[in-house]
Amino acid sequence: MMESNPYFAVGSAQAGYPPYNYGSNFQPSGFPVVRLRGLPYNCTDIDILKFFAALDIVDVLLVNKNGRFTGEAFVVLASAVQADLALNRDRQNMGRRYVEVFRCKKQDYYNAVAGEVKYEGIYDNDRPNSPPGRSRRSVDKDQLEYTEILRMRGLPFSVTKADILKFFGDFKVAEDKIHIASRADGKATGEAYVEFSSSDEAKSAMCKDKMTIGSRYVELFPATPEEARRAESRSRQ
């Protein structure tokens, strides 16, 4: 029976949270998204990933209004079953704040995605209150020194190399030149490093900055080979 599944019971306990409880009459709701409210204003995607330790998170959408994080987020899980398990975290604490976790209406989620995409690309040095987890966009990226490597940030946790190849479809990128960063426990960080044929090609690929993969807009930054090696080394630890 599901109740005896040790993965959810042990995994969440190791993270310091109560084990997930299926209940004797457990039935999945069908829509694999939950909504969070009351999050700390310095909350990041990774904080939410830890909050739902042992569950398979596909994507996290932090809700912003006028450049400010609202304390709300939508979390996409791998299945309706896991979305219902996520409801067990309702009223649990993240830092000093207790977080409400509740079912999400499809239209609310789609509206949030549409609002995020519409708002993309406005974060710059004139807007000091960029959402947590996202740095302010520099208006001088063209003036930065480029190597053949770009760093991607804000990727869905479920991103694959095929997704990144499609994202850079107008450029020649080899699959073995893509490194998707992960933590020591194997969880994705939402970052990746992509090596192009030259620094000029990498600079040209910056035209994809702030474009979307799924519901997430992706930030691009020049990176050095040393940064890429460090990220790869951390993933292997």
Residue ranges of the domains in the chain? Answer: 2-118, 141-236
Instruction: Report, as ranges of residue numbers, the positions in the chain whose pLDDT lies below 50.
Output: 1-15, 20, 22, 24-28, 119-139
Residues 6+ apart with CB under 8 A from 154: 134, 190, 216, 217, 218, 219
CATH number at 141-236: 3.30.70.330
CATH 3.40.50.620 fits domain 2-118: no
What confidence score (pLDDT) does residue 140 get?
54
> Do the domains spanning 2-118 and 141-236 agree at the CATH topology level?
yes
Residues 6+ apart with CB under 8 A from 119: 64
What confidence score (pLDDT) does residue 121 get?
40
- Which two structure tokens, joined as six digits, stand for 127? 């807007």
What confidence score (pLDDT) does residue 210 get?
86
Residues 6+ apart with CB under 8 A from 17: 51, 53, 89, 92
Helix (H) or strand (E) holding 82: helix 80-86
- Which two structure tokens, joined as six digits, stand for 94? 């993240």
Considering the entire predicted model, what is its pTM? 0.53
Residues 6+ apart with CB under 8 A from 64: 70, 116, 119, 131
Cα torsion through 62, 190, 207, 116, rounded to 10: -10
Comparing CA positions, the residue from 107, 161, 155, 105 lying closest to residue 134 is 155
What confidence score (pLDDT) does residue 112 get?
84
Pairing of strands 92-94, 97-103: antiparallel
Q: What helix, strand, coil percent values describe the chain, rounded to 5? A: 30, 25, 40
What confidence score (pLDDT) does residue 94 get?
94
What confidence score (pLDDT) does residue 34 get?
96
Neighbours of 90 (CB within 10 A): 13
